[in-house]
Amino acid sequence: MYQLLLCIHVCTVIIGLGPTFLFPLLLKLPKTPDTIQYTGKVLGGIGRMAKVFDYILLVSGLLIVWKPALPFLSF
């Protein structure tokens, strides 16, 4: 169970926070009004996707802390 939660947590970090680094690159691309509008739609979609993955990241992180792999209190 712990390995599954950890895998979900790491994957959501990569998928959810990774596109954030694309924002500066995407903002440099638009040259015409049509591309500006398209870029705005793409950035909005990335923002919505990042919010979903941030919530999954939060829940998986809390579950990892709540169900630790090692019984730390037994030392």
Residue 75 within any structural domain of the chain: no
Q: Is the pLDDT score of 69 beyond 80?
A: no
Interhelix angle for 2-17 vs 33-66, to 10°?
Answer: 160
Residue 74 within any structural domain of the chain: no
Residue 27 within any structural domain of the chain: yes
Residue 8 within any structural domain of the chain: yes
Residue 73 within any structural domain of the chain: no
4-34 tens-digit pLDDT: 888 888 988 888 877 778 778 877 877 888 8
Segment 28-56 mean pLDDT: 85
Domain range holding 15?
2-68
Question: With contact defined as beta carbons under 8 Å apart, do 9 and 62 qualify?
Answer: no
Q: Is the pLDDT score of 75 beyond 50?
A: no
Q: Is the pLDDT score of 74 beyond 70?
A: no
Q: Domain count of the chain? A: 1
Q: Is the pLDDT score of 40 beyond 60?
A: yes
Residue 29 within any structural domain of the chain: yes
